[in-house]
Amino acid sequence: MPRYALKIEYDGGPFNGWQRQPGQPSVQGTIEAALARLAPEAPTITGAGRTDTGVHATAQVAHVELAKDWDPFRLSEALNYHLRPQPVAILQAARVAEDFHARFSAIERRYLFRLIQRRAPVTHEAGLVWQVLNPLDLESMREGAAHLIGRHDFTTFRSSMCQAASPVKTLDEVRIDAVAIPQGMEFQFHLRARSFLHNQVRSIVGTLERVGAGSWAAGDVRAALSARNRAACGPVCPPQGLYLAGVGYADDPFV
């Protein structure tokens, strides 16, 4: 059967994560319900990553096999029609080879975490960012983040419920940008790796926020990493600022 890759955007707020669960709203289940309106075989989809409750995506990727040979543009349009009014959109569909796998063919994943620092409550960005009240030092956070780049045992920054076979991962990039906003700053944390441990990004950002606030020194991040102990981690930040921002493939199906 023809196989298609889907590039997907969603607001994770209304969903209990990506993965389909009985009796719970999920992004996967929502898309599969839309597909069922188009395909009597009620196909299932496979995503590149399982985002947690409240986590968003600007470029999640999934693949699906369909009995009908669809024009990719018409497939995306039809899915978006049936997805309304849910906050899920198919940005692009592409025909792919039979051996393409959204998860196992991926060579990198990119995450964005948005943190807003200001005293006044956020209005337009409510549910889409993590807000802190006190100023943060950008250069200190960058200095702390530098200790995490490379291949390390990330046990400290791994959820106790993580099911990965090994805590050793290679973190290729941690970039922190800052943009002025009315009465405050938005800090954007960009992280890139082949794969991530459960809660790794939120654990890292929560720890770096403590560095920016002055509660930790930049060198304390290195000590926490070396401890290989979950108790040495800073606080895990909330999910609403986290976005799956891209999935890379050796042969990008959407180019």
Active site residues: 52
Torsion of CA 162, 165, 170, 176, to 10 degrees: -10
**Cα–Cα distance between 190 and 187 in angstroms, integer?**
10
CB atoms within 10 A of CB 155: 18
What phi and psi values does residue 234 have, to the nearest 5 degrees?
Answer: -70, -175
d(CA 209, CA 204): 9
Contact in structure between 204 and 176 (CB atoms under 8 Å)? no
* Amino acid identity for residue 98 in this structure: E
Which candidate, 105, 111, 110, places its Cα nearest to that of 249? 105
